[in-house]
Amino acid sequence: MDRNSLSNKTESKRTCKGVALLGVASCLALAACSEKASPPVAQEGERVDHFADNAWGNPLAVVQHPAGEHVNGVTYVSYQGPLEDPYVAAYDHKSDRWTGPFKAGVSAMGKDPNRTKKIDNHGKPTLIVDDEGYIHVFYGGHGGTPEAHGDNPLGNHHYGENKHAVSKRPYDITEWEDLDTIPPFGTYNQAVKMDNGDIYLFYRHGAHRSDWVYHKSTDNGRSFGPAVSFLKHKRRDDLKAVDSWYAWVGRGEGDDIIVSYDYHLCWDGGAGVNGRGHTTERHDVYYMVFNTKTGVWTNVEGEELEMPITREYADEKTLAARTGERWTFNGTVHLDSKGYPHIGMNIGEDLGLKTGGPKRTSHYRWTGEQWLGGEPVADIAPSVDSRGDFLVESPQEVRYLLAYREEGVGVVAWWNSEDGGKSFGKGAEVLRREKAGWAITSIIRNSIPEARALVAEKQPGSDWHRVYLLGDEGPVSRLKSEAQQLQE
């Protein structure tokens, strides 16, 4: 069987051995077995708290979102599976039944024998359901290549090919087809659906030195308009570097889309001015609003903006906070009941590493007059990374679902504030695993208390991970026989 076109249909039973083997070679050998359709739900049997064990590499992230959506009593979820391909599963809350996972497409990444020691991870899927019930997945991109895709008019290249898959039938994840609707250069896909059914797709149009853009669809994702730049990459005259960005995009009030972002100082290769060459160096916190009805962008004070945004203009018009020498890692933004934005940004010290240092999630909020905040949410050591997303009701009530490590133990827990983010207290732990690290998503679109976010349990010594659907109080369980996609 061709490893790049494995069938999603149930085949004769296979027995796979050696699931602990690492690297692309083991992934290729196990791909066929991991793509089997799940058996029907049995009345009895041992249950586990993960729904699949074939998440691959770094299979989830906050930035590619939504990773799942709840609609009509079913939560649909997506993650990066074998060969870096997108996988989709669904949980029916009323019947307590899982379906899938099924492979939704074939990524251009993960198959190159010359890259056996590196999992790219940038092509993990984004999922959204249109008004007709068709499920859309955007996946597989990290800038494209000039050999396969030609010139990138809005940036540079790297790897992969940004793709768009859609379910063949409404609310049915068993069969998929690709649509030729978007350029191949994108990465960090983020999908937003408005009340009138219009779908906006945001992403970075290439590798690090590229504009951030959006496309608009008015026909349930069957076609998209041209790319429109909203964040501009630009060569710096004073440094051997390029201005670039990382953004997180979500729904605002009415016709608005809200955007939080940080600034990426993209150094030239080699030793560079900073002595380290290209790094993940990012700084500061920014915010702006896009009115999809009028096409006008504004800052937090309602002042109309000139687009696309450059670094100098962003500093003047959209800056929410300076982080100084500390490095950032893009977080999320939501509005409270007054329509004021709250931003969760991950911030840490520069430890002389290409990745800076560990970053703790910190909270900012707009009071109507000024930005406040910046202190870490979780009371954990500065040497510990935290990631996650938050829910906000009133300007005072904020709840973060954070994933981090605590004395070598992986923890996912709620951290709650009743004073607008000035202080947080630890709430319920929803998951705890020995020696685990975590990959976590943003809050699922239209989430309900039983299903808020996805996490993948990353154990040392393996690139295979278990993936969980977490609610306010813990994970959604599944029959072990179904969750075991990699048969021992």
Give me the active site residues, please: 122, 188
Report how far Cα 435 is from the mean position of its chain's Cα atoms.
Answer: 23
Q: What letters, b where the CB count within 10 A reaches 16 and e where it falls short, cover 354-375?
A: eebebbbbbbbbbeeeebbbbe
Query: Amino acid identity of 340?
Result: Y
Cβ count within 10 A of residue 429: 13
Give me the sheet containing 212-217, strands edge to edge: 187-193, 199-204, 212-217, 228-231
Instruction: Compute the distance between CA of residue 120 and CA of residue 156 in angstroms, rounded to an integer.
Output: 17
Peptide bond into 101 cis (omega under 30): yes
Rg over CA atoms, the chain: 21
- The sign of the CA dihedral 369, 343, 274, 156 is negative
Asked whether the beta carbons of 221 and 181 are under 8 A apart, the reply is: yes
**How far lies 72's CA from each of 91, 268, 374, 453, in Å?**
11, 49, 38, 17
DSSP string, 25-57: HHHHHHHHHHTSPPPPPPSS--EES-SEEEEES
DSSP string, 197-222: S-EEEEEESSSSSS-EEEEEESSTTS
DSSP class of 94: T
Asked whether the beta carbons of 484 and 34 are under 8 A apart, the reply is: no
Nearest to 342 by CA among 404, 282, 291, 397: 397
Q: Could you give phi then psi for residue 198, rounded to 5 degrees? A: -60, 140
11 Cβ partners below 8 Å, 6+ apart?
Answer: 32, 36
The two three-digit tokens of residue 371, written as one number = 């930005």
Instruction: Compute the distance between CA of residue 435 and CA of residue 461 in angstroms, rounded to an integer.
Output: 11
DSSP string, 110-146: S--GGGTT----TT--EEEE-TTS-EEEEEEEEB--H
Asked whether the beta carbons of 435 and 425 are under 8 A apart, the reply is: no
